Amino acid sequence: MPIQRRPKPTSPDEFIEGANLTESVLQHQIEVLEHQLQQKDEHEQALVGEIEQLRANDLDETERQLLQKQIDELREHLKQNQGSVEYPIAKIHPNPKQTRQTFKEEVEAMERSLQEEGQLDDVMLFDDGTLFDGECRWRAATNLNWKTIRAVFVSRPENDQTLRRRTYLANRHRRDLNALDKAASLVAIVCDEISELKPDEVSRIVNRVLTRLKRRKQKLGDRLHLQPQEQQRAILAQFKLEPVEIQVFLILLGLQEHPATLNRNVFPTLSLNPNLRIAVRERALGCAQALVLNRLTSDNLGLSKQKALQLLNEGIEVTLANNLSEIKAQQWVAEQKKQLVGDATKALSNGVRNQHVDHILVAVQRLDLDKATISTEQRQELKQALKRVLQML
């Protein structure tokens, strides 16, 4: 059996040198790991940047497929770096800056998909459990009484303003993003960046500027929202707008939204009756049909507020039950107005004549403006008085 020699004792200098070497190796390994993590983070940020750049443009079907491919690549990148986890559904909460507020139909479809095929894509969460992507999957899983859902985690933006903007861009090109959700989100983004601006001022500023330009026979140009920001600034400078007006327009243009389109098709939804808003978000009423039904007001119909609201609610039920298009909804509203006028005429013809009105009629019929000498001021007052009477008839 060979004799085992005792190892030579390590001198203090050799020990210190070995310790320094070990520390040096460890430091090198730490630097390598940090470099690898930085590369992974840079790759993740590059993917996010590519996705946001794509979402900031008007996409055709091929580009939509490319966008979805980039999203899938980001999700796969996160899975490879972190791995998926089964995260408790009860600890997940929605994004308070979420653009979409309408989920009903998509959630119902997602429930069927989860039941038949299981969860195909992970939801994306921030570290505190806030959703970045996948709210429909989370809502559907909640309705199905799932306890956990597969998730990956992504870095949270540096502030809420950036989060709201990114969330809007993430939802902008989805076909089910309705005009009401879009309008509310755009107003919030503008107010984030111009803190002194009140929400109801945003749409008024846009409408005011466009009305002024129309009066001057000036136009923004159909593709202004697709131009570089410097060119947008140069064009807006030609119109001599107020500083806050330029700010609002540049923010909207920076989101690839044309102010004229928003003024015509999106911002009008902000004036929807509360019942119509609920019907849009919870019962899948189309925004175009909602805007048609929004004309059923007491002022437009000459009814009390209570009766006008009853007719509005009837219009909601009829539109939903019969799946009326915008044109069909317009026809239904016109029919209701026609019927109200007919009922009013019938009531007048069957009623007792008002003697006071008869006296006024006689006086007006006898008035000969050609022979009478009346001042310009009296003529104007008479026009205004007759106009008010005609509006009430």
Output the tens digit of pLDDT for each of the chain's 393 residues: 444 344 444 344 444 444 444 455 455 555 555 555 555 555 555 555 555 554 445 555 666 666 666 666 665 655 555 567 888 999 998 887 665 666 676 788 888 888 888 888 888 888 888 888 888 888 899 999 999 998 888 777 666 667 677 667 666 655 557 889 889 889 988 998 898 999 999 999 999 999 999 999 998 988 898 888 899 999 999 998 999 999 999 999 988 889 999 999 999 999 999 999 999 988 889 999 999 999 999 888 888 889 899 999 999 999 999 999 999 999 999 999 888 876 655 555 555 566 667 667 767 766 666 655 677 777 778 788 777 777 766
In this predicted structure, what is the pLDDT of residue 106? 75
148-153: strand order across its sheet: 85-88, 148-153, 123-125, 131-133
In this predicted structure, what is the pLDDT of residue 21? 44
Q: How far apart are the C-alpha atoms of 201 and 266, rounded to whole Å?
A: 15
In this predicted structure, what is the pLDDT of residue 244? 95
Token digits of residue 298: 């007491």
In this predicted structure, what is the pLDDT of residue 385? 78
Token digits of residue 293: 């039904």
In this predicted structure, what is the pLDDT of residue 300? 85
Reported as a single tens digit per residue, the pLDDT across 290-323 is 999 999 998 888 888 898 999 999 999 999 999 9
In this predicted structure, what is the pLDDT of residue 337? 87
Q: How far apart are the C-alpha atoms of 330 and 211, rounded to whole Å?
A: 26
Would the CA dihedral through 211, 288, 165, 40 be positive or negative? negative
* Cα separations in angstroms, 322 against 104, 326, 329, 330, 338: 19, 12, 10, 14, 21
Token digits of residue 164: 């709201």
Nearest one of 114, 124, 28, 132 to 81, comparing CA atoms:
124
Residue with tokens 């026009």: 383
10 Å CB burial of residue 136 (0-12, 13-18, 19+) is buried
Q: What is the pTM of this model?
A: 0.55
- Structural domains of the chain in order of their starting residue, each with its CATH number: 82-163 (3.90.1530.10), 178-270 (no CATH), 272-350 (no CATH), 359-392 (no CATH)
